[in-house]
Amino acid sequence: MLIIGLTGSIATGKSTVSSLLSSPPYSLPIIDTDLLARKVVEPGTPGYKAIVNYFGPTTPDLLLPDDPSSSINTNNNENKLGRPLNRPALGRRIFGTDASRTRDRAILNKIVHPAIRREIYKAILYYYVRGHWAVVLDVPLLFESGMDLLCGVVMVVGVKDPAVQMERLRLRDKHLSVQEAEDRVRSQGDVKGKVERAEWRGKGRGVVVWNDGDRGDLEVEVRRAMGVVGGRGWWTWLLWVVPPMALLVAGWNLGVNFWLKRGWEGRERERKAKL
């Protein structure tokens, strides 16, 4: 089964591309790590408890207040698990480039990433068993988390004009100030760097979807990108009916991706040394 890693920066249109890929004519299953990230920090989970223990003492509004209008009985077992996280408050703690926010973001990642990975592996196995030829792994920080090592293809959604990205973000999240919007964009990395890294993987292993226009333009870009990726072939059926061969191919793909990762890191070290 082909794993297509879908990534981009905030407000580049990754969610729209994900929606297009999940619809005909592609109809690919989506593993959305944003949804998994919410799942693994729901009240009562180990991730929730770790976040409350670390951030709670210094973030008074970390948890949403009780809703007196809620029809849910306050003695219900679900409520006893704790109040939901106040995501905007948590976002203010982790988004930004100063040392404290960078540290807090790293700690949050250490809490949630292992749990998300477990959910990803379970989902991949589930879709493989059901005979899907490909699955889309939707990860905002695909390269940063190292999940690109799993992917046969990496698809980056990018914009060429940073002003377009900022405008879309502030239209989508109207509560954000200019500074907060800039902090969120910076925290997810320069999209041009992700584009370069995808292209470094080579044709067929790295694809860029440009999204500076309207939805019609984006649909054309997705169609072009999927033409590069290809579609279901005889090999997909072979890997499904012969699991040992699928494991061998997965191991080979992991090795190639590791080699590409080492090459990229070496290139970046040389580039920085010349600055």
Whichever domain contains 150, its CATH number is: 3.40.50.300
| 153 located within any domain | yes
Contacts of 109 (CB under 8 A, 6+ apart): 145
In a shared domain, residues 158 and 220: yes
In a shared domain, residues 177 and 117: no
In a shared domain, residues 184 and 244: yes
Is there a contact between 23 and 173 (Cβ–Cβ < 8 Å)?
no
- Distance of alpha carbon 87 from alpha carbon 85, whole angstroms: 6
Bin 130: left if φ > 0, else alpha if -120 < ψ < 50, else beta.
Answer: alpha
In a shared domain, residues 65 and 84: yes
| 126 located within any domain | no
In a shared domain, residues 171 and 85: no
In a shared domain, residues 16 and 93: no
Per-residue model confidence (pLDDT) at position 74: 45
Sign of CA dihedral 163, 164, 167, 170: negative
Among 73, 88, 121, residue at a domain's last position:
121
Domain count for the chain: 2
Among 121, 155, 187, residue at a domain's last position:
121
Per-residue model confidence (pLDDT) at position 18: 96
| 232 located within any domain | yes
Nearest to 7 by CA among 142, 201, 189, 148: 142
- Distance of alpha carbon 241 from alpha carbon 62, whole angstroms: 49
Which helix (H) or strand (E) is 157 found in, with range?
A: strand 153-158
Among 121, 154, 175, residue at a domain's last position:
121
In a shared domain, residues 137 and 255: yes
In a shared domain, residues 254 and 149: yes
In a shared domain, residues 116 and 8: no
- Distance of alpha carbon 197 from alpha carbon 201, whole angstroms: 7
List the chain pLDDT tens, one digit each, 275 residues.
Answer: 999 999 998 888 899 999 999 999 999 999 999 999 999 999 999 999 999 999 999 999 999 987 655 544 444 554 677 899 999 899 888 888 789 888 999 999 999 999 999 999 999 999 999 999 999 999 988 998 899 999 999 999 999 887 787 778 878 877 777 777 777 776 666 788 899 999 999 988 999 999 998 999 999 999 999 999 988 777 788 888 888 988 999 999 999 999 999 999 999 899 888 87
Q: Give residue for tokens 């990754």.
A: 14
| 194 located within any domain | yes
In a shared domain, residues 167 and 112: no
65: containing domain? 35-121
| 56 located within any domain | yes
| 47 located within any domain | yes
